[in-house]
C-alpha cells in the first residue's frame, strides 16, 4: 500500500471515515489552504480566539482578510457563542473554533449558529487530535479542520500538518490550490530526519534543557528547521517558501508515531484527572469534568502568581512545563500585538490568562514527581 494511504487509514481510526484528508508541511499551511479554498480574501472577516498562536492570525492576513479576535471563557480557554455573536458582521465569512490544550468550545452551538447565518467554520484541532466532543471526534464538526504534528502536539512528525475537508463543495478549489504546493528540499528533509534522530537517540533528561534552549535559538535564527522561522512570528508577510507540501519523512514518521498515540492519550487523560483532583483538593482553579470528559488533554493549564519564578522553580525540579500561550497571540509580546490588529486590553480574560498561565505535562510517566512539585509550590498557584 502507498505510504500516504497507510497513514490516512491510521488517522481514520480517530477521525472517522468521512471527509477527505490532505497533508502539508505544517498545520498553518493546512489552515491557509482551507481558507483559500473557501474563497477568503480582502474585505472578509475571520473570527478566531484571542488566545492562540500568531501563525493562525497570519494565515488569515496572508490572504488579505481581517482577523477578528474574540475573548475567551476562563473555564474552557475557548471562545463562547455569546462572545462570537457580539462581533459577527455581514463581512464574517469563517469562524475558527479551537481545541485549546485539547479542550473544546461549545462547538455544536457555534456550528449551528454559523450554518444558520451562512458562515463557514474551521476547527483548529492542532491540540485536539484524538479527542471528542459529544461523542463526535474533534475535527468532524466543522466544514473543515486542521491538525498539527509538530514536536509538542498529540503525536509528532517533528513538524507537519493535516487538513480534513468535510464540506465537499470546496474540494475542487482545494485540489487546484494544492497543485501550487512547493516541494520540501532535499536539505530540509535531511535536516528534519537529523532532528528526529536527535530527539530519539541523543536527548536525555540531563541534556534536555540545554538542547531545548539551543534548538529554540537555532530555529528562531533560521539555522535549523523550526516550528516557526523568524518571519513567521515576527511579521505579517507570507514567507516566499511558506506554502509547502508534506515530505516522505513526515509521512513515515507519522505512521510510526501514531502507533504510540493510544498509550499517550490514555496517559494524558489519567494524569489530567490526577492534576484536577490535587488542585481541587487544595482550593485551586482546575479543569472541570465538563471540559475534560472526552478531551485529549495535550497539556494541563494552571495559572500561577509569578510565571518567571514558577518556571525557574520547575527547571530546578526538572519539571518540563509548557509555556503556551504567554500572550493572546503567542509568542508575540504584548507591545507588538498592534501589528496583528490586536489591542490586548480588549480581551481582559485572555490577557489575564496569558500573563499567568503555564502548562503541566500530561505525558509524564512520573506523575508523583509532578504532584510533589505542585504541592511544594501550591502557594504560587492561583
Ligand atoms: C492553536 C494552534 N493553532 C495552530 C498552530 C500551528 O500549527 P503548526 O505549528 O503545525 O503550523 C499552533 C502551533 O503550535 C497552535 O498552537
According to the model, what pLDDT value does residue 293 have? 67
Give pLDDT tens digits for 20-34. 999 999 999 999 999
Which uninterrupted H or E stretch holds 195? helix 186-201
The tally of domains found in the chain comes to 3
- Give the span between the Cα atoms of 158 and 94, in whole angstroms: 29
Give pLDDT tens digits for 154-190. 999 999 999 999 999 999 999 999 999 999 999 999 9
In a domain, 213, yes or no: yes
According to the model, what pLDDT value does residue 372 have? 97
For the ranges 178-182, 195-199, 325-329, which has the lowest average pLDDT?
195-199
According to the model, what pLDDT value does residue 169 have? 98
Which residue's C-alpha comes closest to atom 13 of ligand 1?
53
Give pLDDT tens digits for 243-288. 999 999 999 999 999 999 999 999 999 999 999 999 999 999 999 8
23 plus 147 within the same structural domain: yes
| Centre of ligand 1 from the C-alpha of residue 53, in Å | 6
Structure-model confidence comparison of residues 68 and 220, the more confident one? 68
Domain final position from 178, 198, 213? 178
In a domain, 254, yes or no: no
CATH number assigned to the domain comprising residue 365: 3.90.1150.10
34 plus 153 within the same structural domain: yes
- Confidence band (pLDDT; 50, 70, 90) for 231? confident
In a domain, 256, yes or no: no
- Give the span between the Cα atoms of 307 and 291, in whole angstroms: 24
Residue 290 reports pLDDT greater than 80: no
303 plus 361 within the same structural domain: yes
Atom from ligand 1 closest to the CA of residue 150: 10
Domain final position from 178, 195, 217? 178
Residue 140 reports pLDDT greater than 80: yes
Contact 357, 301 (CB under 8 A): yes
Atom from ligand 1 closest to the CA of residue 100: 1
Q: What is the mean pLDDT of residues 195-218?
A: 78
Ligand 1 pocket list (CB less than 6 A): 26-28, 52-53, 55-56, 98, 124, 126-127, 148, 150, 161, 227
* 13-22, 204-213, 218-227, range with greatest mean pLDDT: 13-22
- Give the span between the Cα atoms of 219 and 199, in whole angstroms: 15
In a domain, 171, yes or no: yes
Which residue's C-alpha comes closest to atom 16 of ligand 1?
53
135 plus 18 within the same structural domain: yes
- Confidence band (pLDDT; 50, 70, 90) for 7? very high
In a domain, 289, yes or no: yes
105 plus 215 within the same structural domain: no
- Give the span between the Cα atoms of 356 and 206, in whole angstroms: 28
Which uninterrupted H or E stretch holds 274? helix 261-281
In a domain, 344, yes or no: yes
190 plus 174 within the same structural domain: no
CATH number assigned to the domain comprising residue 77: 3.40.640.10
Q: Which residues of 34-66 are buried (b: 16+ CB within 10 A; e: fewer)?
A: bbbbbebeeebbbbbbbbbbbbbbbbbbbbebb
174 plus 207 within the same structural domain: no
Contact 231, 239 (CB under 8 A): yes
- Give the span between the Cα atoms of 59 and 41, in whole angstroms: 11
94 plus 75 within the same structural domain: yes
Residue 157: name the closest of 37, 224, 250, 88 by CA: 250
Domain final position from 131, 149, 178? 178
30 plus 105 within the same structural domain: yes
In a domain, 252, yes or no: no
194 plus 317 within the same structural domain: no
270 plus 325 within the same structural domain: yes
Query: The pTM is what?
Result: 0.95
Residue 111 reports pLDDT greater than 70: yes
Structure-model confidence comparison of residues 215 and 83, the more confident one? 83
Give pLDDT tens digits for 28-65. 999 999 999 999 999 999 999 999 999 999 999 999 99
Q: What is the mean pLDDT of residues 95-112?
A: 94
334 plus 195 within the same structural domain: no
In a domain, 255, yes or no: no
Count CA atoms within 13 Å of residue 274 on its CB side: 22
Which residue's C-alpha comes closest to atom 8 of ligand 1?
27
According to the model, what pLDDT value does residue 203 have? 73
According to the model, what pLDDT value does residue 176 have? 98
Q: Which domain holds residue 343?
A: 261-380
Amino acid at each position: 500500500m502507498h505510504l500516504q494511504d497507510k497513514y490516512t487509514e491510521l488517522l481514520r481510526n480517530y477521525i472517522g471515515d468521512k471527509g477527505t484528508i490532505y497533508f502539508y508541511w505544517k498545520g498553518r499551511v493546512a489552515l491557509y489552504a482551507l481558507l483559500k479554498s473557501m474563497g477568503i480574501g480582502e474585505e472578509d472577516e475571520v473570527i478566531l480566539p484571542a488566545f492562540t498562536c500568531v501563525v493562525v492570525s497570519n494565515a488569515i492576513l496572508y490572504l488579505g482578510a481581517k482577523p477578528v479576535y474574540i475573548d475567551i471563557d476562563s473555564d474552557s480557554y475557548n471562545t463562547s457563542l455569546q462572545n462570537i455573536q457580539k462581533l459577527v458582521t455581514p463581512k464574517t465569512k469563517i469562524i475558527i473554533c479551537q481545541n485549546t490544550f485539547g479542550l473544546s468550545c461549545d462547538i455544536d452551538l457555534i456550528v449551528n449558529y454559523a450554518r444558520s447565518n451562512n458562515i463557514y467554520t474551521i476547527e483548529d484541532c492542532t491540540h485536539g487530535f484524538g479527542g471528542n466532543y459529544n461523542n463526535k471526534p474533534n475535527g468532524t464538526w466543522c466544514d473543515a479542520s486542521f491538525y498539527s504534528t509538530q514536536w509538542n502536539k498529540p503525536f509528532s512528525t517533528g513538524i507537519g500538518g493535516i487538513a480534513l475537508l468535510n464540506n465537499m463543495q470546496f474540494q475542487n478549489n482545494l485540489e487546484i490550490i494544492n497543485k501550487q504546493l512547493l516541494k520540501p528540499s532535499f536539505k530540509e528533509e535531511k535536516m528534519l530526519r537529523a532532528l528526529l534522530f536527535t530527539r530519539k537517540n541523543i536527548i536525555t533528561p540531563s541534556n534536555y534543557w540545554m538542547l531545548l534552549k539551543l534548538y529554540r535559538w537555532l530555529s528562531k535564527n533560521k539555522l535549523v528547521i523550526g516550528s516557526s522561522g523568524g518571519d513567521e512570528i515576527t511579521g505579517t508577510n507570507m514567507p516566499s517558501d511558506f506554502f509547502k507540501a508534506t515530505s516522505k519523512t513526515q509521512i513515515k514518521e507519522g505512521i510510526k508515531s501514531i502507533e504510540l498515540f493510544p498509550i499517550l492519550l490514555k496517559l494524558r487523560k489519567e494524569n489530567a484527572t490526577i492534576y484536577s483532583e490535587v488542585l481541587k483538593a487544595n482550593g485551586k482553579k482546575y479543569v472541570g469534568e465538563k471540559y475534560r470528559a472526552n478531551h485529549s488533554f495535550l497539556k494541563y493549564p494552571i495559572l500561577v502568581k509569578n510565571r518567571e519564578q514558577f518556571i525557574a522553580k520547575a527547571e530546578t525540579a526538572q519539571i518540563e512545563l509548557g509555556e503556551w500561550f504567554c500572550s493572546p497571540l503567542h509568542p508575540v509580546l504584548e507591545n507588538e500585538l498592534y501589528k496583528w490588529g490586536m489591542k490586548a486590553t480588549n480581551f481582559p480574560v485572555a490577557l489575564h490568562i496569558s500573563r499567568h498561565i503555564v502548562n503541566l505535562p500530561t505525558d509524564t510517566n512520573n506523575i508523583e514527581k509532578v504532584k510533589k512539585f505542585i504541592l511544594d509550590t501550591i502557594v504560587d498557584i492561583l
